Each structure stands twice: as structure tokens, then as C-alpha cells.
Amino acid sequence: MDRSLYVAMSGAKHILQAQTSNSHNLSNVNTTGFRADLEQFRSMPVFGPGFPSRVYAMVERPGVDFTPGVLQTTGRNLDVAIHGQGWLAVQSKDGSEAYSRAGELKLTPEGLLQTADGLAVLGNGGPIALPPAQKIEFGADGTISIVPLGEGLTTLAIVDQIKLVNPPAEQLEKRNDGLFYLKSESPASPGADVKLVSGALESSNVKAVDAMVDMIELARRFELQVKIMKTISDNDAASAQLMRFA
């Protein structure tokens, strides 16, 4: 009895973990540049003295869905999106270099270029700081041009360039802050093939309908595991009753 109960119990536990991952994806269906987490189940034997007769279910996050989202034109001059593969380099809260696809940028009163979450956007020499300007333009290669205050609209001056990178997906890992980092902990080299689109944002790559279907399926699986545990408990109680009559 204990073996069957252990299998059902571990299955229910890891289905709850899968539900947590799926719910996280669903809650970020409208998050700019979000990349969905993937999860899968597999059987894991319990090794120890004797034969591995106990097997439990285990959920794991094998990786991240790197499929690009849909580019949506906003017309806002501080919105940028990456066309195809690639990443924006940003400075994480601990000061290390991280990578994001969220291009909803803003300027602080001090002229610092940041993401909507307040992370500094990195350029050629670190965090980007822009002088007062009446117009800001982003080039396809990440160059930032401004029209200084008091100058004509045809007077464009290049002041910096957003660091765009494109490391192989297998070298990246997603951490709890939602940003991506190189597993080697070293900064990635700029990628000349990364193209920036100005006045647009990339949507999340989470498909709401698929996530809802997965949520229903996981709920049914959890309910099945609970029913199995109830059946095992009832059988155990019936066996104990028979032993008392014997």
C-alpha cells in the first residue's frame, strides 16, 4: 500500500509544481518580451538497498521557449523591439550584465536610459546617459541619435549605441528575476547581426489558449492523483478491517 500511495502522492506534488510554472506563464501573457518556461514529467526510480521497486513522478523545467513574440507597432519613440534573434543588454539589480527582450524604455530626470522595470540599458561604455534633447532616434544597429536642444531637426548627433547580443540559446539561463544570463558569468560579445526596430514592442510568446488548456489538463491530472490516494486509503482501511475479523 505504501508504494502505491507514495507514487500517487509524489505525482500530485509535482503536478502542483507544474501548475505553478504554467500559472506563471499565463500571468505574463501580456508582459513585453516574456519567454515562456517549459516543464515536463518523467519517472524517477528510488534507488537504495535492494531493487528500485518504487518509482515516483518528477517535474522539471527543461528550458525556455525562445520563440519570438509578435512585433506590435506603438509609434512611441522610446519603444524598441528586436527583429528575430538577439537581446538587449541591461544591468541587473546586482550590477551584473543581463539580457532582456523588453524594449519599453524610459528616460530618468538625470537622462539615464532604463527599461520599464528601472534597469539601466547598457551601451558601449556601460549604462547609457543621454544629454537633454528634443528628439531621440534609434538605428537598426542600436545607435542612438539625438537632436540637441536649440538645434534644427536635421541636426542629428550619435551619442551612444545600445549593446545588442546574440549568444547561443544553450549558453543562456533564465533566473528568478526573469532576465537571462550567460552560464559562464562573463559578458556576451556584441552581435552585429542583431537588428533593432524603433517604435515597436514584442509581445509575450505565451499562447493564452494553450496555457489555459494546459491548466485544465493539469487540474484533471491532480484530481486523478487525489482519487488514487483516496482509493488506496479505502483499500488499506478495508484490509485492516479484514485482519481484525481474522
Q: Give the Cβ contact number of residue 113 at 10 Å.
A: 22
| pLDDT level of residue 52 (50, 70, 90 thresholds) | low
For residue 197, what pLDDT is reported?
Answer: 96
Q: Give the model's confidence band at 217: pLDDT under 50 very low, under 70 low, under 90 confident, else very high.
A: very high
CB atoms within 10 A of CB 93: 11
Q: What pLDDT score was predicted for residue 143?
A: 96
Name beta bridge partners: 202: 71
Check residue 119 and give its pLDDT.
96
Predicted pLDDT at 9: 77
- Between 42 and 185, the more confident residue is 185
Looking at residue 38, its pLDDT comes to 83
Vertex 52: Cα angle to 46 and 56 (nearest 5): 40
pLDDT band of residue 245 (cuts 50, 70, 90) is low
| Neighbour-count burial for 118-153, b at 16+ CB within 10 Å, e otherwise | ebbbbbeeeebbbeebeebebeeebbbbbbeeeeee
**Residue whose grid cell is 489558449:** 209
pLDDT exceeds cutoff 80 at 237: no
pLDDT value of position 115:
96
Cβ atoms < 10 Å from Cβ of 159: 17
Nearest CA to 12 out of 182, 220, 231, 234 is that of 220
- Of 144, 76, 152, nearest to 111 by C-alpha is 144
**Which has more confidence, 240 or 139?**
139
The residue to which cell 561604455 is assigned? 125
Please state the length of the chain.
246
Other Cβ atoms closer than 10 A to 99: 24
Q: Please state the rounded mean pLDDT for residues 36-45.
A: 73
pLDDT at 63 over 90: no
Q: By mean pLDDT, which of 15-24, 53-62, 73-82, 158-167 is the weakest?
A: 53-62
Note the pLDDT of residue 42.
63
Range of weakest confidence among 31-40, 71-80, 88-97, 210-219: 31-40
Higher pLDDT, 72 or 238: 72
Average pLDDT over residues 63-84: 93
The C-alpha atoms of residue 101 and residue 8 are separated, in whole angstroms, by: 40
Is the pLDDT reported for residue 216 higher than 80? yes
Q: Are strands 172-174 and 180-182 parallel, antiparallel or unpaired?
A: antiparallel
